[in-house]
């Protein structure tokens, strides 16, 4: 009896019902979409770090991290990288030489990390070629070319100005100094290009040279300190790691999560702020529903008074209003989920560009500025339940207000 | 006349008016809270990151930041001390002389950032004396070095061992010295952990042959919110041979990270506006439906639709204004409360944050700009919503309306 009455009430005043239904649908849509967006943004940061810095896996000599000595190499690093590149599940792999040293110009000296890379493999692995903003990516005709970061180039006075009017002094000779096994080696290099990294710190620290050039200088044959691998699918990381471990006995193989622990910090802090914003959105939804339902109860003062006067108990009036809210939520809920699903699916294909927001935006510092919202299916249920609970709780106050009506006065109103 | 009518309309059905005002009130409150927590999370991040090393502002010799060499150091003159005083909002100027050198244990060599500090002033900015993981802090200015943990480990050195520093000093002189290690330092930032070496200022000046010279003054400010103002004032007060820089210029990557995040915040905020906007729209929609009879009568007795629309517009503006004012009045103490009692992120999070020397808290920001901006946006939103009843009045047919 009561369920039928409530159901009819819902459709008797369509406008009012539509407002509440839409409020619930919007609340759900907002909550889900925000979750998906934040998730996508956090994932994009992870992806950027993987794509430009850590790759999925890296192999080092176990002592290399503590003590970056020239002799702490990964045996047969070059051929391992070549073998890995040939595998179908591997997108890219590269061997690097990593040296700590000093970079000096005529007037300056700074501490740098010198990375000896295989130009083609490196371009495929960390997009280094596409991150070159001035000059060329290791041109064949230049002897001892190096790529330096924008920040360092500015600091050393090699790059002046920015954009098209930038002036790059490619004639500047640089002396790189590093410790070889028993001696300190110095050699002249020339800047062939200037690259952009995810942050200024890396741009200041890392200098890229051709691995073979450095090997020729040192004269100790092939030297690989770091072997970096990127799988076609991040899910294959663990399988690939097992594989690599058995191929490189005694070496240390680490995943991106171990290599960049601050990814964890970024993800965690995203999670916290996301939760707080989600609570704020739920509150907004709750107040929207409370207001509308309260208006509805007021509007129906006469009707409710009449029902009470003809003998409907208070509990039943209360039950009727709660049931009405439940119905509204049951219509609005699925609508909201559908709306959210559609928006998330659509934007996860097209992506949302952040370039138009904020001043410089994300794009200015080499971070891809397009966010692809994504959500784990479990969240649909979780958030739907939270929104339904919010809707139920928000209906409580208006329903309680209805209970306090006195039949006679209520009928007289209007 | 119209205003009076609108005002009376409002209080004729007090409860309905209060509900509408409440919807604006909550809109302001929630959007202020959202922005306040967004900005608060940046403020705490900035506070943490600048306290690692740079401080909120620094003074250098003009051109030092572009070319950070000892040749760009300066001899602090008396007028600098006076200018960088409490009058301009500087609590303390922390002197430093810094340059790269090679740190060596004899067997091993690593590049290091060697910083000469005033042992007494430095902790005011970086809490350096609390970052010791072994040994003791400087006592006076006796020759001794504090070395970052990871660097010491790589060099194979511990407390009491001798550290060798080799580098290039002021005006190209070669620099070299031996220092007993007084203590090891642990930093949250892996970068600092790998390369920092601290010496008492006179020792560093002697090492680099830069007697009485400094590369920078890092400033402790009375009020970090005022950084921009203090820096501008200092810039004016100091001769042109100095440059004064804010943390934004000193830590561009922090600004980059925040800008990127803020762009995402815009999306979150838009979603919130959609929801609160609809909440307000809902109440206005109900009000319009409820008042069809009244509108019909008014039209029937000859009130022009334009005037009726104006009345409604005034009503909604008034309700919007009242709601916005009430919302501001409520959000001020609330955000102050969360600024003083920031939300704690929980044990698990605290551990992750501790690794990076970050505080696991989320405070609210009380930047006045936030309140003003949100008040204006929500008020405009309520004005936009008043278009609905106006549109409704324009197409109203009195007879049908009165019958409803």
Give the list of residues 6+ apart from residue B116 with CB closer than 8 angstroms, or none. B96, B97, B98, B198, B199, B200, B201, B202, B203, B204, B205, B207, B208
Chain A interface, mutation test: which of B196, B267, B326, B404, most A Cβ atoms within 10 Å? B267
B169 vs B154: CA distance, rounded Å: 24
A381 vs A373: CA distance, rounded Å: 18
CA distances from B159 to A65, A78, A289, B112 (A): 22, 41, 65, 17
Out of A30, A287, A357, closest to residue B271 by CB: A30
User: Is the minimum CB–CB distance between B330 and chain A shorter than 8 Å?
Assistant: no
The mean-pLDDT minimum among A80-84, A356-360, B373-377 falls in A356-360
More confident residue, A346 or B255: A346
CA distances from A204 to A196, A197, B121, B257, B357 (A): 10, 9, 29, 17, 23
Mean of the per-residue pLDDT values of chain B: 88
A39 vs B192: CA distance, rounded Å: 30
- CB proximity under 8 Å: B 300-329 to A: none
Give long-range contacts, CB 8 A cutoff, 24+ apart: A62-69.
A62/A250, A62/A251, A62/A252, A64/A98, A64/A225, A64/A226, A64/A252, A65/A252, A66/B153, A66/B154, A67/B108, A67/B154, A68/A98, A68/A99, A68/A100, A68/A225, A68/B154
Q: Classify residue A158 by its DSSP letter.
A: S
Convert the pLDDT of each residue in B353-400 to its tens digit: 877 778 888 899 999 999 999 999 999 999 999 999 999 999 888 888
A193 vs A195: CA distance, rounded Å: 7
- CB proximity under 8 Å: A 344-373 to B: 352, 354, 357-362, 364-365, 367, 369, 371
The C-alpha torsion from B288 through B291 and B295 to B298, rounded to 10°, is -150
Convert the pLDDT of each residue in B66-81 to its tens digit: 778 888 999 887 667 6
Predicted local confidence at residue A219, as pLDDT: 86
Predicted local confidence at residue A357, as pLDDT: 53
B312 vs B10: CA distance, rounded Å: 10
Locate A248 and state its tokens.
């490189």
What's the pLDDT band for A360 if we cut at 50, 70, 90? very low
What is the least distance, in Å, from the CA of A18 to any CA of chain B? 9
**ipTM computed for the complex:** 0.75
Predicted local confidence at residue B135, as pLDDT: 92
Convert the pLDDT of each residue in A278-302 to its tens digit: 888 888 888 888 887 788 787 788 8
Cα nearest neighbour of B40 on chain A: A273
Q: Within 13 Å and on the Cβ side, how many CA atoms surround B278?
A: 25
Predicted local confidence at residue A361, as pLDDT: 42
Predicted local confidence at residue A115, as pLDDT: 94
- Checking if the pLDDT of A113 tops 70, the result is yes
A207 vs A156: CA distance, rounded Å: 13
| Percent of chain A predicted with pLDDT > 70 | 95
Convert the pLDDT of each residue in B297-337 to its tens digit: 988 898 888 999 999 999 999 999 999 999 999 999 999 99
Q: Classify residue A290 by its DSSP letter.
A: H
Predicted local confidence at residue B340, as pLDDT: 92
A326 vs A395: CA distance, rounded Å: 9
Out of A26, A283, A364, closest to residue B274 by CB: A26
Residue with tokens 């003809």: A310
The answer to whether B263 contacts A354, with C-beta atoms less than 8 Å apart, is: yes
- Checking if the pLDDT of A362 tops 50, the result is no
A57 vs A42: CA distance, rounded Å: 20
Contact B68, B215 (CB under 8 A): yes
User: Is the minimum CB–CB distance between A162 and chain B shorter than 8 Å?
Assistant: no
Predicted local confidence at residue B286, as pLDDT: 83
A223 vs A402: CA distance, rounded Å: 81
- Checking if the pLDDT of B230 tops 60, the result is yes
Q: Which of A66, A116, A127, A59 is nearest to A92 (CA)?
A: A127
Give the list of residues 6+ apart from residue B357 with CB closer than 8 angstroms, or none. B48, B52, B187, B188, B189
Mean of the per-residue pLDDT values of chain A: 85
What is the least distance, in Å, from the CA of A251 to any CA of chain B? 19
Backbone angles phi and psi of B316, in degrees to 5:
-70, -35
Q: Residue by residue, what is the 3-state secondary structure of chain B?
A: CHHHHHHHHHHHCHHHHHHHHHHHHHHHHHHHHHHHHHHHHHHHHHHHHHHHCCCCEEEEECCCCCCCCHHHCECCCHHHHHHCCHHHCEEEEEEEEEEEEEEECCCCEEEEEEEEECCCCCHHHHCHHHCEEEECCCCCCCCCEEEEHHHHHHHCCCCCCEEEEEEECHHHCEEEEEEEEEEEECCCCHHHHHHEEEEEHHHHHHHCCCCCCECEEEEEECCHHHHHHHHHHHHHHCCCCEEEEEHHHHCHHHHHHHHHHHHHHHHHHHHHHHHHHHHHHHHHHHHHHHCHHHHHHHHHCCCCHHHHHHHHHHHHHHHHHHHHHHHHHHHHHHHHHHHHCCEECCHHHHHHHHHCCCCCEECCCCCHHHHHHHHHHHHHHHHHHCHHHHHHHHCCCHHHHHHC
Convert the pLDDT of each residue in B71-110 to its tens digit: 899 988 766 766 666 777 888 889 999 998 989 988 888 8
Predicted local confidence at residue A212, as pLDDT: 92
Which one of A66-80, A143-157, B131-145, B364-378 scores highest in mean pLDDT?
B364-378
- CB proximity under 8 Å: A 171-190 to B: 179
Predicted local confidence at residue B82, as pLDDT: 62
What's the pLDDT band for A355 if we cut at 50, 70, 90? low
- Checking if the pLDDT of A35 tops 90, the result is no
Q: Which of B195, B80, B182 is nearest to B141 (CA)?
A: B182
Predicted local confidence at residue A363, as pLDDT: 42
- Checking if the pLDDT of A192 tops 80, the result is yes
Predicted local confidence at residue A341, as pLDDT: 93
Q: Classify residue A269 by its DSSP letter.
A: H
- Checking if the pLDDT of A411 tops 80, the result is no
The mean-pLDDT minimum among A317-326, B119-128, B345-354 falls in B345-354
User: Is the minimum CB–CB distance between A280 and chain B shorter than 8 Å?
Assistant: yes
Q: Classify residue A53 by its DSSP letter.
A: I
What's the pLDDT band for A369 if we cut at 50, 70, 90? low
The answer to whether A371 contacts B113, with C-beta atoms less than 8 Å apart, is: no
Convert the pLDDT of each residue in A199-218 to its tens digit: 777 888 899 999 999 999 88
The C-alpha torsion from B254 through B255 and B261 to B266, rounded to 10°, is 160
Q: How far is CA B67 from the centre of its chain?
A: 28
What's the pLDDT band for A359 if we cut at 50, 70, 90? very low
Mean predicted confidence (pLDDT) in A33-60: 86
Out of A156, A280, A291, closest to residue B272 by CB: A280
């Amino acid at each position: 009896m009561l369920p039928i009455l409530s159901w009819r009430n819902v459709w008797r005043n369509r406008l009012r019902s539509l407002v509440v239904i839409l409020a619930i649908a919007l609340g759900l849509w907002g909550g889900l979409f925000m979750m998906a967006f934040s998730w996508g943004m956090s994932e994009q940061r992870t992806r950027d770090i993987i794509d430009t810095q850590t790759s999925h896996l890296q192999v080092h000599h176990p002592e290399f991290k503590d003590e970056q000595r020239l002799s702490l190499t990964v045996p047969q690093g070059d051929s391992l990288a070549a073998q890995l590149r040939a595998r179908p599940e591997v997108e890219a792999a590269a061997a690097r030489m990593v040296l700590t040293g000093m970079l000096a110009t005529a007037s300056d000296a700074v501490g740098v990390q010198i990375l000896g890379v295989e130009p083609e493999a490196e371009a495929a692995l960390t997009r280094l070629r596409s991150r070159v903003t001035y000059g060329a990516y290791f041109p064949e005709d230049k002897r001892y070319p190096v790529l330096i970061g924008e920040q360092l180039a500015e600091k050393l006075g090699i790059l002046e100005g920015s954009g098209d009017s930038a002036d790059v002094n490619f004639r500047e000779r640089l002396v790189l100094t590093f410790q070889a096994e028993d001696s300190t080696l110095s050699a002249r290099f020339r800047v062939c290009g200037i690259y952009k990294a995810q942050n200024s710190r890396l741009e200041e620290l890392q200098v890229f040279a051709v691995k073979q050039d450095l090997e020729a200088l040192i004269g100790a044959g092939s030297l690989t300190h770091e072997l970096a691998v990127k799988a076609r699918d991040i899910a294959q990381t663990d399988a690939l790691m097992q594989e690599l471990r058995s191929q490189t006995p005694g070496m240390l193989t680490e995943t991106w999560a171990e290599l960049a622990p601050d990814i964890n910090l970024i993800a965690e802090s995203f999670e916290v702020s996301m939760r707080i914003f989600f609570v704020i959105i739920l509150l907004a939804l709750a107040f929207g529903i409370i207001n509308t339902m309260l208006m509805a109860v007021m509007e129906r003062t006469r009707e409710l008074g009449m029902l009470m006067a003809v003998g409907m108990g208070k509990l039943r009036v209360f039950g009727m209003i709660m049931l009405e809210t439940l119905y509204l939520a049951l219509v609005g809920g699925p609508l909201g989920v559908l709306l959210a699903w559609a928006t998330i699916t659509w934007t996860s294909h097209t992506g949302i560009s952040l370039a138009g927001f904020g001043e410089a935006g994300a794009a200015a510092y080499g971070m891809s500025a397009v966010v692809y919202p994504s959500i784990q299916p479990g969240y649909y249920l979780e958030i739907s339940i939270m929104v339904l609970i919010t809707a139920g709780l928000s209906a409580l106050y208006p329903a309680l207000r209805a209970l306090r009506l006195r039949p006679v006065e209520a009928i007289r109103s209007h | 006349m119209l205003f009076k009518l609108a005002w009376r309309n409002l209080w004729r059905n007090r409860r309905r008016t209060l509900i509408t005002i409440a919807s604006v009130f909550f809109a302001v409150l929630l959007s202020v809270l959202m922005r306040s927590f967004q900005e608060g999370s940046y403020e705490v991040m900035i506070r943490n990151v600048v306290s690692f090393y740079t401080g909120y502002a620094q003074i250098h010799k003009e051109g030092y930041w572009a070319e950070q060499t000892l040749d760009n150091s300066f001899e602090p003159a008396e007028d600098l001390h006076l200018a960088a005083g409490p009058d301009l909002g500087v609590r303390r100027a922390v002197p430093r002389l810094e340059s790269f050198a090679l740190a060596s244990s004899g067997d091993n060599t690593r590049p290091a950032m060697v910083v000469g500090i005033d042992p007494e002033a430095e902790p005011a900015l970086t809490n350096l004396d609390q970052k010791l993981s072994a040994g003791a802090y400087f006592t006076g200015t006796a020759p001794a070095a504090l070395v970052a943990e990871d660097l010491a480990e790589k060099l194979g050195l511990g407390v009491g061992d001798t550290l060798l520093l080799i580098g290039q000093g002021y005006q190209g002189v070669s620099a070299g010295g031996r220092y007993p290690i007084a203590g090891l330092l642990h930093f949250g930032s892996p970068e600092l952990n790998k390369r920092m070496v601290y010496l008492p200022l006179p020792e560093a000046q002697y090492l680099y042959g830069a007697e009485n010279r400094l590369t920078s003054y890092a400033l402790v400010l009375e009020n970090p919110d005022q950084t921009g103002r203090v820096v501008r004032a200092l810039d004016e007060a100091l001769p042109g041979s100095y440059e004064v820089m804010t943390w934004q210029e000193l830590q561009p990557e922090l600004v980059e990270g925040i800008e990127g995040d803020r762009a995402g915040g815009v999306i979150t905020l838009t979603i919130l506006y959609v929801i609160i906007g609809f909440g307000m729209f809902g109440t206005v929609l109900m009000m319009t439906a409820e008042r069809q009879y009244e509108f019909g009568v008014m039209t029937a007795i000859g009130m022009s639709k334009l005037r009726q629309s104006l009345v409604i517009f005034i009503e909604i503006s008034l309700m919007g204004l009242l709601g916005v004012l009430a919302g501001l009045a409520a959000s001020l103490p609330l955000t102050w409360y969360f600024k003083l009692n920031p939300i704690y992120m929980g044990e698990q999070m605290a551990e992750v944050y501790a690794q990076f020397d970050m505080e696991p808290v989320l405070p609210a920001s009380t930047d006045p700009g936030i309140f003003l901006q949100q008040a204006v946006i929500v008020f405009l939103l309520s004005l936009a919503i008043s278009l609905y009843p106006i549109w409704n009045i324009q197409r109203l047919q009195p007879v049908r309306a009165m019958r409803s």
